[in-house]
């Protein structure tokens, strides 16, 4: 049903022409040999896996969902899922950007990032099975003991085991400080965990011989709240001395959730009844250790937003060129047909261009952050590593929230392109809307991302990270300020940069008097900053397109048109958002709860 053709041309434009990743990777000894040919080949092969292996399972998987067996607590994934996973493992995809010390291929995260965009487009729910393993890999890689690394990493890298993150409990989602699962120390240095986790993605399935759960729980002497949380490795089967799965650990799936979307990913209630566990990251230091996982997952969820935006756009575009309804207002465009294709109508174009601009802006933004991550982890200069780490920290909540909010509106616009047929399951578009919705919720809701951005990442460091990013924008504005052809992009870019600076100072001042001002401004504020970032990348992409528009390659013409649409139609949303953010907390807090 429908189609998925990986946007390889745009990916290559972003990686090679916009970001010049090859030059950046050359500065990193680990990737000095990674050239454009390698990157393009991997993208090409990755696109085949996405479009030929997992895309054909996307709609059937959604219809069928997962099956839970109450007797033995097993979960069976939809038809074809396990076989696709076997192909994924056989082709070596799980190890793409993993450490060669643990049998990884040692390629850049930037490349893995583009591969994940394609997988998310092709089948978001399937991609969550291996996607969560990557976070588990990173967490153990950074915080595990040498023995834990030697035991678990090669299994996660090869993909023969998958990983999960077990944070949420029935009474505690956002506020992890309230979690109750208990870990009792044992004489042999292990722990026994008892408790219930809910909403655990890929918590149980039939794809792999073992599952490595990373579980947050409390030690007996734990202080109250978030300072008393520890992190544990809890394998489904206890590994034997030779690393093969042994005795079944009592961490079992009590039920799987019926839900709005991502039906083919098992969302599990996990019961731990004295499950054997190993501490990772030190007593009461669980949240710090888990943050490695959570940050990786936040970027991953932003990528889900991008992937689903792209596939919704592609299919709506095909439909809009095919569906004949009414005649163009400016005269008949298809005289040989009984009506014009709906793509002639301005508002249908608005909907398509909205999704196209969100996909292309998101791709540039995500690839940029992935490159910063590669530099943070691999650059020989400590100063550069620190700068990149700051940028990743600043931009992560924006990627998570801005791209997933955009995905929700883009998939909805794309559904609208189909008219009534969009609402009907047969066309597949309603699945994209349903699947997109969860991305705004899990991995910290988008409200929580906004509070993280404004409160922690900006106000708590007096705007230093934001200023640093702003310097790049200023430099670009100054460099291109006298170029007449660029003025349609440079003027609004400079303007939004100034407005963000003023808005940040204003909210910062108000927050001194009343902390609720931060909570009242955070959501519109994040969207404003998200637009500033998009405006910066669209201006940079427009500059390249302007220089190459006469080459005869229509790609650049399309890029320029999309950038113009973005500046004319999407960026102006910031005027309203800034008014909302400035309106203060009183209009939200005045009404007493019992008067609602």
Ligand X SMILES: Cc1cc2nc3c(=O)[nH]c(=O)nc-3n(C[C@H](O)[C@H](O)[C@H](O)COP(=O)(O)OP(=O)(O)OC[C@H]3O[C@@H](n4cnc5c(N)ncnc54)[C@H](O)[C@@H]3O)c2cc1C
Q: Which of 140/570 has CB closer to ligand X?
A: 140
Any idea which residue has 């940029």 for tokens? 368
In the complex, minimum distance from the CB of residue 199 to ligand X, in angstroms, rounded to a whole number: 3
Q: Which stretch binds ligand X (CB under 6 A): 56-64, 196-204, 269-277, 298-306?
A: 196-204
Catalytic residue among 360, 430, 443, 517: 443
Helix, strand, coil share of the chain (percent; to 5): 65, 10, 25
Q: Are 506 and 517 in contact (CB under 8 A)?
A: no
Q: Which of 67/386 has CB closer to ligand X?
A: 67
Q: For residue 488, give the 3-state DSSP assignment.
A: helix
Residue window 431-460: x/- pattern of binding to ligand X, with contact defined by CB under 6 A: -------x--xxxxx-xx------------
Question: Phi and psi dihedrals of 108, rounded to 5?
Answer: -65, 150
In the complex, minimum distance from the CB of residue 449 to ligand X, in angstroms, rounded to a whole number: 9
Q: Which stretch binds ligand X (CB under 6 A): 92-100, 144-152, 164-172, 275-283?
A: 164-172
Q: Does 166 bind ligand X (CB under 6 A)?
A: yes
Q: Closest Cα to residue 303, out of 433, 404, 438?
A: 404
In the complex, minimum distance from the CB of residue 298 to ligand X, in angstroms, rounded to a whole number: 11
Q: Which of 128/415 has CB closer to ligand X?
A: 128
Q: Which of 162/309 has CB closer to ligand X?
A: 162
In the complex, minimum distance from the CB of residue 175 to ligand X, in angstroms, rounded to a whole number: 6
Q: Which of 112/168 has CB closer to ligand X?
A: 168
Q: Closest Cα to residue 94, out of 8, 205, 207?
A: 207
Q: Does 199 bind ligand X (CB under 6 A)?
A: yes
Number of residues that bind ligand X (CB under 6 A): 20
Distance of alpha carbon 3 from its chain centroid, rounded? 22
Which of 28, 122, 157, 165 is close enough to bind ligand X by CB under 6 A? 165
Q: For residue 362, give the 3-state DSSP assignment.
A: helix
Q: Which segments of 282-428 does DSSP mark as H helices, in order?
A: 286-322, 346-378, 382-417, 420-423
Q: Closest Cα to residue 522, out of 398, 406, 399, 408?
A: 398
Q: Does 168 bind ligand X (CB under 6 A)?
A: yes
The strand pairing partners of 543, in sequence order, are: none
- Residue whose CB is nearest to ligand X in the complex, by number: 173
d(CA 494, CA 485): 15
Q: At what angle do helices 554-565 and 516-548 cross, to 10 degrees?
A: 150
What residues from 513 to 542 belong to the interface with ligand X (CB under 6 A)? 519
Which of 259, 385, 548, 564 is close enough to bind ligand X by CB under 6 A? 259
Any idea which residue has 């309603």 for tokens? 430
Q: Does 108 bind ligand X (CB under 6 A)?
A: no
Q: Closest Cα to residue 58, out of 316, 359, 430?
A: 430
In the complex, minimum distance from the CB of residue 489 to ligand X, in angstroms, rounded to a whole number: 35
In the complex, minimum distance from the CB of residue 171 to ligand X, in angstroms, rounded to a whole number: 8
d(CA 342, CA 325): 6
CA angle 443-532-536, nearest 5°?
A: 110
Q: Does 319 bind ligand X (CB under 6 A)?
A: no
What residues from 171 to 190 belong to the interface with ligand X (CB under 6 A)? 173-174
Q: Is 443 one of the catalytic residues? A: yes
In the complex, minimum distance from the CB of residue 424 to ligand X, in angstroms, rounded to a whole number: 24
Distance of alpha carbon 249 from its chain centroid, rounded? 31
Neighbours of 189 (CB within 10 A): 8
Q: Which of 376/452 has CB closer to ligand X?
A: 452
Which of 12, 95, 267, 504 is close enough to bind ligand X by CB under 6 A? 267
Catalytic positions are 443
Residues that bind ligand X (CB under 6 A): 165-168, 173-174, 199-201, 259, 267, 438, 441-445, 447-448, 519
């Amino acid at each position: 049903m429908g189609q998925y053709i990986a946007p390889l041309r745009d990916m290559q434009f972003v990686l090679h022409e916009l970001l010049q990743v090859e030059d950046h990777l050359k500065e990193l000894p680990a990737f000095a040999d990674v050239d454009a040919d390698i990157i393009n080949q991997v993208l090409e092969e990755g696109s085949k896996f996405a479009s030929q292996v997992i895309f054909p399972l996307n709609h059937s998987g959604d219809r069928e969902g997962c099956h839970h067996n109450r007797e033995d607590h097993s979960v069976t994934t939809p038809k074809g899922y396990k076989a696709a996973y076997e192909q994924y493992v056989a082709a070596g995809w799980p190890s793409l950007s993993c450490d060669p010390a643990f049998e990884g291929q040692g390629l850049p995260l930037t490349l893995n990032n583009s591969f994940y965009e394609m997988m998310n487009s092709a089948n978001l729910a399937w991609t969550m099975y291996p996607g969560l393993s990557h976070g588990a890999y990173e967490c153990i890689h950074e915080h595990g003991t040498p023995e834990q690394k030697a035991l678990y990493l090669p299994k996660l890298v090869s993909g023969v085991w998958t990983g999960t993150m077990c944070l949420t409990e029935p009474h505690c989602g956002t506020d992890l400080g309230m979690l109750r699962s208990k870990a009792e120390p044992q004489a042999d240095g292990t722990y026994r965990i008892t408790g219930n986790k809910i909403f655990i993605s890929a918590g149980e399935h039939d794809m792999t011989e073992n599952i490595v759960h990373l579980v947050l729980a409390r030690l007996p002497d734990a202080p109250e709240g978030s300072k008393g949380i520890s992190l544990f490795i809890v394998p489904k089967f206890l590994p034997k001395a030779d690393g093969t799965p042994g005795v079944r650990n009592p961490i079992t799936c009590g039920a799987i959730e019926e839900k709005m979307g991502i039906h083919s990913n098992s969302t599990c209630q996990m019961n731990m009844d004295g499950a054997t566990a190993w501490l990772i990251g030190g007593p009461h230091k669980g949240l710090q250790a888990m943050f490695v996982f959570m940050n990786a997952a936040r970027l991953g969820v932003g990528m889900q937003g991008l992937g689903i935006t792209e596939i919704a756009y592609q299919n709506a575009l095909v439909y809009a060129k095919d569906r004949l309804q009414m005649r163009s207002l400016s005269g008949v465009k298809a005289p040989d047909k009984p009506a014009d294709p709906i793509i002639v109508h301005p508002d249908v174009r608005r909907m398509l261009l909205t999704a196209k601009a969100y996909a292309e802006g998101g791709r540039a933004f995500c690839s940029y952050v992935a490159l910063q991550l590669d530099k943070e982890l691999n650059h020989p200069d400590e100063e550069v590593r620190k700068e990149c780490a700051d940028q990743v920290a600043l931009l992560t909540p924006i990627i998570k929230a801005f791209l997933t909010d955009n995905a929700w509106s883009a998939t909805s616009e794309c559904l609208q392109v189909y008219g009534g047929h969009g609402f009907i399951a047969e066309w597949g578009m309603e699945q994209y809307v349903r699947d997109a919705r969860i991305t705004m919720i899990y991995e910290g809701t988008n409200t929580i991302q906004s509070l993280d951005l404004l409160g922690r990442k900006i106000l708590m460091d007096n705007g230093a990270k934001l200023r640093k990013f702003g310097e790049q924008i200023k430099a670009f504005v100054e460099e291109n300020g006298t170029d007449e052809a660029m003025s349609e992009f440079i003027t609004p870019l400079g303007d939004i940069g100034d407005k963000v600076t003023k808005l940040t100072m204003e909210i910062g001042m108000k927050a001194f008097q009343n902390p609720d001002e931060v909570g009242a401004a955070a959501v519109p504020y994040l969207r404003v900053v998200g637009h500033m970032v998009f405006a910066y990348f669209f201006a940079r992409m427009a500059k390249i397109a302007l220089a190459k528009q006469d080459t005869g390659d229509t790609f650049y013409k399309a890029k320029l048109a999309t950038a113009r649409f973005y500046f004319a139609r999407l960026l102006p949303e910031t005027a309203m958002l800034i008014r909302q953010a400035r309106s203060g907390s009183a209009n939200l807090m005045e009404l007493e709860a019992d008067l609602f």
